[in-house]
Amino acid sequence: MQSENKTVVYELEASEFDWQLRPGKTVKAWGFNKQVPGPQLNARKGDTLVVKVKNSLNEPTIVHWHGIRLPAAMDGTGETQKPILPGETYEYRFVVPDSGTFWYHSHYNETLQMERGMYGGIVVAGKDDPTVDAERLLLIDDMRLTDTDDHEERNKLGKWIERHDGREGNTRLINGKEVSTFHMHAGQTERWRMVNAASARYFLLNLGGKPFKVIGTDGGLLERPIEKTELLITPGERYDILVGPFNEGDNIAIENLGYNRTTFLKPRRETYAQLHVGTEKDTKLTVPARLCEIPRLATATAVANRSVKLSVAPSLKNILDFHVNGQTHCNDQPVKVGDLQVWEVSNTSLMDHPFHLHGFFFQVIEENGKVPEYLAWKDTYNLKPKTKIKIAWIADDRPGKWMYHCHILEHHAAGMMAHFEVVRPGQQPMRHTDHNCGSHSNAHPHKTKNLKTMTANM
């Protein structure tokens, strides 16, 4: 049989440009092809995606393909490639092995480049996708702007708050627009692919209290649709939901109910867009009761073979440091291709952190002693304060340098991240570093022992 896989080629140019958030409000944005978000990249499962990234900014950049199981060399981090310098073009080329909703974003000077708009969505279609009346890709974001629509330079206190909370903007965006109105037909059901592209803002989705169905998340379809009226989408996460059918004349606010993640700035209920429901139309909706099969990697009782501890500690130099296993930017132990990984990931701090693993999907098999509501492939998962989860995953044969980190960009930048290598059995790690944050090592006890007790307040 002839393969139906194609090669899909895109060109993205990173540059600075004027971007209209709404009539009368224009900002200096940084982004791809002069739009925020950048162009939606479309492919079918199994296709080869070729993306030529030209850097027309005045500073280097790198593009990361969040959620795609690609070879390490294509992951788009400072570990796997040299930054793309101003004026240079770099070609990414990889197969997209999974259907689902993914996204790309800058992985260089992220707290600034992503804040200004350097991200976009990727939709990979699959044979098992349910038939819906329409699809929409919705990228949620915010920007912090001054009264004169400039990106805000924070003062010392502002910077300190930002380091702790992550940057939350005062301009709320869906697909780069501040006020949007979406139209859909009564009687129809749409698939909305939601991506939280914000630096730090959590999004607790509500559609006027009307129920919707979650059908997919980071790594593709769930086994069966799950009905919800509220859905928390944390930075980096994706959720695919079925929305509708509604009645003609319905006017529904697309809202963030506000989620308290224990920041200095208090969360508020806020509207992002309006949905207007027009004339009735026929539907072609077909959603099987069983969407797909997710093989369970391990049961909740599986014994963890690694622990990853996320914590926040006072620091003499930076006031606050964000740690993985007591270290900033640490080096974790290698992972062997084919070995079942059962990691206990804990959050000992008093604030939430969305944990993101590059390049691989995991299953959350236990959370605070309980089995999660449903099985799913995830690459980003929110850890509430004082929470422990167990995740299971297996590295397929893609050796190289990978990382995991908190997807609150300011926390990532402040050190809440770890590098690790995937190695083939019998292969030596490329780098003979001291694995300073490995779970079996007690090296480098934290220097400021007595300060540590203060972390109770962080």
Q: Cα–Cα distance between 336 and 349 in angstroms, integer?
A: 30
Residue found by looking up tokens 């390490």 in the block: 72
Site for ligand C2O in 246-265 (CB under 6 A): none
DSSP class of residue 246 equals -
Q: Which of 69, 163, 358, 419 binds ligand C2O (CB under 6 A)?
A: 358
406 near Cu ion, rule: CB under 5 A: yes
45 near ligand C2O, rule: CB under 6 A: no
Q: Cα–Cα distance between 165 and 410 in angstroms, integer?
A: 8
Q: State phi, psi for 225 to the nearest 5 degrees.
A: -65, 145
Report the partner that residue 422 touches, choosing among Cu ion, ligand C2O, none (CB closer than 5 to 8 A by kind). none
Separation in Å, CA 109 to CA 83, 162, 259: 11, 15, 27
Report the partner that residue 64 touches, choosing among Cu ion, ligand C2O, none (CB closer than 5 to 8 A by kind). ligand C2O
Residue 117: CB minimum distance to ligand C2O, A = 15
Window contacting Cu ion (CB under 5 A); options: 179-187, 411-419, 434-442, 444-452? 411-419
Q: Decide whether 107 or 336 has the Cβ nearer to ligand C2O.
A: 107
At residue 191, the 3 state secondary structure works out as strand
At residue 431, the 3 state secondary structure works out as coil
* Antiparallel, parallel or unpaired: β 119-125 and 38-44: parallel
Window contacting Cu ion (CB under 5 A); options: 98-106, 210-218, 313-321, 410-418? 410-418
Q: Cα–Cα distance between 161 and 164 in angstroms, integer?
A: 5
Q: Are 185 and 280 in contact (CB under 8 A)?
A: yes
383 near Cu ion, rule: CB under 5 A: no
Report the partner that residue 172 touches, choosing among Cu ion, ligand C2O, none (CB closer than 5 to 8 A by kind). none
Q: Which of 356, 401, 411, 435 binds ligand C2O (CB under 6 A)?
A: 356
Residue 408: CB minimum distance to ligand C2O, A = 11
Residue 236: CB minimum distance to ligand C2O, A = 5
Report the partner that residue 408 touches, choosing among Cu ion, ligand C2O, none (CB closer than 5 to 8 A by kind). Cu ion
306 near ligand C2O, rule: CB under 6 A: no
Nearest CA among 47, 79, 44 for reference residue 64: 79
107 near ligand C2O, rule: CB under 6 A: yes
Residue found by looking up tokens 């005062």 in the block: 170
Q: 183: burial class by Cβ within 10 Å (0-12, 13-18, 19+)?
A: exposed
Q: Cα–Cα distance between 438 and 131 in angstroms, integer?
A: 46
236 near ligand C2O, rule: CB under 6 A: yes
Report the partner that residue 353 touches, choosing among ligand C2O, Cu ion, none (CB closer than 5 to 8 A by kind). Cu ion
Q: How many residues bind Cu ion (CB under 5 A)?
A: 4
What element of type H or E holds 352?
A: none
Q: State phi, psi for 242 to the nearest 5 degrees.
A: -100, 125
Residue 403, token pair as written in the block: 């990382």
Query: 415 in the Ramachandran plot: left (φ > 0), alpha (ψ -120 to 50) or beta?
Result: left
163 near ligand C2O, rule: CB under 6 A: no
Q: Cα–Cα distance between 230 and 251 in angstroms, integer?
A: 18
How many residues can be counted in the chain?
A: 458
Residue 403: CB minimum distance to ligand C2O, A = 6
Q: Decide whether 123 or 406 has the Cβ nearer to Cu ion.
A: 406
Q: Which of 45, 64, 191, 261 binds ligand C2O (CB under 6 A)?
A: 64
Q: Decide whether 64 or 353 has the Cβ nearer to ligand C2O.
A: 64
Q: Cα–Cα distance between 159 and 348 in angstroms, integer?
A: 23
Report the partner that residue 66 touches, choosing among Cu ion, ligand C2O, none (CB closer than 5 to 8 A by kind). ligand C2O
User: Dihedral of the CA atoms 423, 426, 429, 435 (nearest 10)?
Assistant: 90
- Check the CA dihedral 219-220-223-229 and report its sign: positive
Residue 77: CB minimum distance to ligand C2O, A = 7
CA angle 237, 166, 322 (to 5 degrees): 95
419 near ligand C2O, rule: CB under 6 A: no
Residue 239: CB minimum distance to Cu ion, A = 20
Q: Decide whether 66 or 401 has the Cβ nearer to ligand C2O.
A: 66
Q: Which of 411, 414, 420, 455 binds Cu ion (CB under 5 A)?
A: 411
66 near ligand C2O, rule: CB under 6 A: yes
Which residues form the interface with Cu ion (CB under 5 A)?
Answer: 353, 406, 408, 411
Binding site for ligand C2O (CB under 6 A): 64, 66, 105, 107, 236, 356, 358, 405, 407
